[in-house]
A and B are shown apart, each in its own frame.
Chain A
Amino acid sequence: GAGVSQTPSNKVTEKGKYVELRCDPISGHTALYWYRQSLGQGPEFLIYFQGTGAADDSGLPNDRFFAVRPEGSVSTLKIQRTERGDSAVYLCASSLTSPGNTNNSPLHFGNGTRLTVT
């Protein structure tokens, strides 16, 4: 079946601009995650959705970053007033885990959006 889809695969923007990154999770997956990965580093957590609500947004670096998942499926990560330091690969993942499950399901990652801020 189809995996997690992220668009665009590459995005180049100028400093100060606004960008939106889209994630289409695996159908039926209730949990959705955004991570950010810089060169040579492992993925760093940004935000986690359970259904439509953000269950944990503790990884968002500042208020320029915002994410939504209005219908509990597709999610959009929004970055305002982009800075060169925002350049990274933004990864989205989804899983079947529901609240109260004792055995967490593995995360299924997309291939990411490579964001370059010039």
Chain B
Amino acid sequence: AQSVAQPEDQVNVAEGNPLTVKCTYSVSGNPYLFWYVQYPNRGLQFLLKYITGDNLVKGSYGFEAEFNKSQTSFHLKKPSALVSDSALYFCAVRLNRDDKIIFGKGTRLHILP
């Protein structure tokens, strides 16, 4: 069965430092991978997605993610964290012939000033 895992409930990073939020997946076939961000009491906002092509995907707000097929991972990264990046981040996976998305349980990112 397809699944997506975010192994960290919370990640703390000092402002200005690089950040990584981890995501691994398990699917049969070619996965479509997504990252979303959620601010308190708000809906999810789309950050970026990987469908095919270049393994490094650039998205909104300076975020990027690297697709690694051998490690079945899709980690979210940013070179220099901002306090305003503090939020809940969701990784998601979708099969190429399915209209549904499976979401990870979320990782809370705290950027410390």
Partners in one complex: no
Q: Interface on A for B, CB 8 Å cutoff?
A: none
Q: Interface on B for A, CB 8 Å cutoff?
A: none
